[in-house]
Structure 1
Amino acid sequence: MARSDEQNRIARERARENILQAAITVFSERGVAGASIAEITSRAGVAQGLVNYHFGGKEQLVSAVIDRWFETVLSFARVDGTPDEALAAVIDGALMATAFAVPLQRAVLAMQQQPATHRLFAESERRHADAVTATEDAVRDLFRARGAADPGLEEVMLRSLLEGVFVKFAVFGDTYPLEDARRWVRRSYGLPEPEEPLPLAMPPRRGEPRPRASGAVCPDTGTVG
C-alpha cells in the first residue's frame, strides 16, 4: 500500500532529525574536520544522498547543528515568577541544558573556537539575532529588577560563568560536581538553596571534588561520551 502524503512528510522529518542527531554525536566525538558524511549517515541509518537532500551538504549540516544549539540555549531564559525565582530558573535551566545536551554543547563549543567553522557560528548568530537580543534583555531585566548597577555587565558575567561550568563539565564529565556548582552559583547571587537536586542521573559526590578528564571518556570505546 502506498504511503499517504502525511506519512511521507513524517518519514522525511524523521530522517532529517536522525541525520541531525547523528551529526551532533559524530561532530562531538571527532570534530567537524574528522567527521565524514558516510559515518554520519551510517549512524543515522539513512542513505548518504539524504544529507544533500535535506541540508545541501556538510557545511549546511554544520550550520543546522549550530542552529539547533541556538534554539536550545535560547529556550530557558524566559520564565515567570519574582526576579529571584526567575534568575534561579535561568541558572537551573542553563545547567540542565548543559547536562542533557553535552554532545551538542561540546560540538558547538569546538565550532566556536575553530577558524574554519567560526564563520558558520557567526552566520547562525546573525540568523538568531533578534532572539539572542531578546534573551539577553530578559536576563538584564531580571538584574535591573534586583537593583543591579550595571545589568548588562551582570548578564554578560552570568553567561560567562555558566558557559565556564559547561566547559568544565564537558571536559570532566560525571566527575565534575555539577549539582554543587549549581548551589554555589545560586549562593553567589544571594538566591535560596534549591529544595531538590537537578533530575539528572549522576553519581553522588563522595569527599572533596576532584574533576578528572577520564570522567568524560567512554570506557568501552575510548571516545568522549
Structure 2
Amino acid sequence: MPRSATANQELRERSRERILAAALETFAAKGYEAASISDITAAAGVSRGLVSYYFATKEQLAAELLDRWLDGIAGILNIPGTPDERLAGIIDGALMAAATTLPIQRLAITLMMQPTTHDVFARVEQAKSARLSLVEDAIRDVFAARGAADPAVEEMLLRATLEGVTVKLAIYRETFPLEAIRTRLYAGYDLPAPTVPLPIVSPAVDRLRAK
C-alpha cells in the first residue's frame, strides 16, 4: 500500500534530521575542515545521494546547524519578568546552552575564528541579521531599564563575556566551575544570588586544566 503524503513528509524530515545529527557529530569529532561528506554519509547510515539531495555542500550542512544555533540564541526574546529577572534568565540560558550543546557551540566557535571558515559564519550571521538585531535590542532594553548609561556597550560586553565562558567551557569542560562563574556574574550585575544551582555538573576546582 503506498505511503500517504504525510508519511512521506515525516520520513523525509527524519532522514534530514539524521543527516544533520551525523554532520554535527562528525564536525565535533574531526573538525569542520577535516570532515568530508563521505564521513557524514557513513555516520548517518544513508546514501551519499540522499545527503546531496538535502545538502549540496558541506557548507550548507554547517550553515543549517549554525542557523539553528542562532535561532536558539533568539530564545531570550521570550524571557519574562522584571529587568533583573530577565538579565538573570539571559545569563542562565547562555550558560545552560554552553554546557548542554557543546558540539554546536564548538562548531560555531571554530567557524567564527578560523580564517578559512569565517566567511561561512559571516554569511549565516548576515542572513539572520534582522533576528539577531532583535536579540541585541532586547538585551539593550534590559540594561536601559536597569539604568545603564550605555546599554549598547553593556550588551556587547555581556555577550563577549558569555561567549568567552563558552570558549573556556569547550576547552576545559571537566574542570570549569560553571556554578561559581554564574554566581560571580550575578554579583557583577548586582543581581540577587541564585538560590538553586543549574542542573549541570559543575566541579569545584581552582585551576583550569584540560583532560
Q: TM-score, normalised by structure 2?
A: 0.95
2:168 is equivalent to residue 168 of structure 1: yes
Shift of 1:140: 0.3
- In the TM superposition, 1:43-192 aligns within 5 A as 43-192=43-192
Task: Name the residue aligned to 1:221.
Answer: none
- Cα shift readout 1:68-120 (whole Å, capped 9, x = no counterpart): 22112222343110000000000000011111110000011101112222111
Specify every segment of 5 or more residues in structure 2 that has no aligned partner in the other structure, as ranges. Answer: none
Deviation at 1:14, TM superposition (A): 1.0
Partner of 1:223: none
Where does structure 1 differ by over 4 angstroms across 4 or more consecutive aligned residues?
Answer: none
2:208 is matched with which residue: 194, 206, 211?
Answer: 211
Supply the distance in 2 between the matched residues of 1:209 and 1:25 (Cα, whole angstroms).
31
Paired residues, number:
211
In the alignment, the residues of structure 2 paired with residue 143 and residue 203 of structure 1 have an alpha-carbon distance, to the nearest angstrom, of 28
* Unpaired runs of at least 5, structure 1: 215-225
The answer as to whether partners of 1:63 and 1:121 remain within 8 angstroms in 2 is: yes
Q: Deviations over 1:148-206 (max 9, x none)?
A: 00000000000000001000000001210111111111111000111211112x1542x
Report the alpha carbon displacement of residue 48 of structure 1 after superposing the two structures with TM: 1.6
Q: Distance in 2 between matches of 1:76 and 1:50?
A: 35
Contact 1:51–1:57 at 8 Å: present in 2 too?
A: no
Contact between 1:78 and 1:135, CA under 8 Å: does it hold in 2? no
Question: Aligned equivalents of 1:152 and 1:23: distance in 2?
Answer: 36
CA distance in structure 1 between the partners assigned to 2:174 and 2:119 by the alignment: 32
Give the whole-Å Cα distance in 2 for the aligned partners of 1:147 and 1:76: 20
Q: Quote the offset at 1:31 in angstroms.
A: 1.4
Q: Is the 8 A contact 1:78 1:138 kept in 2?
A: no
Identical counterparts, % of pairs: 47
Aligned residues of 2:26 and 2:35 also touching (Cα < 8 A): yes
Q: Distance in 2 between matches of 1:77 and 1:178?
A: 24
Is contact 2:177–2:202 with CA below 8 Å preserved after alignment?
no
Matched AA of 2:5? D
**Structure 1 counterpart of 2:157, which letter?**
M
Judge conservation of contact 1:19–1:41 (CA < 8 Å) in 2.
yes
Partner amino acid for 1:163?
E
Counterpart check, 1:29 vs 2:43: no
Deviations 1:2-40 (A, max 9, x none): 321111111111111111121112112211111011221
TM-score when normalising by structure 1: 0.89
Cα root mean square deviation, aligned: 1.3
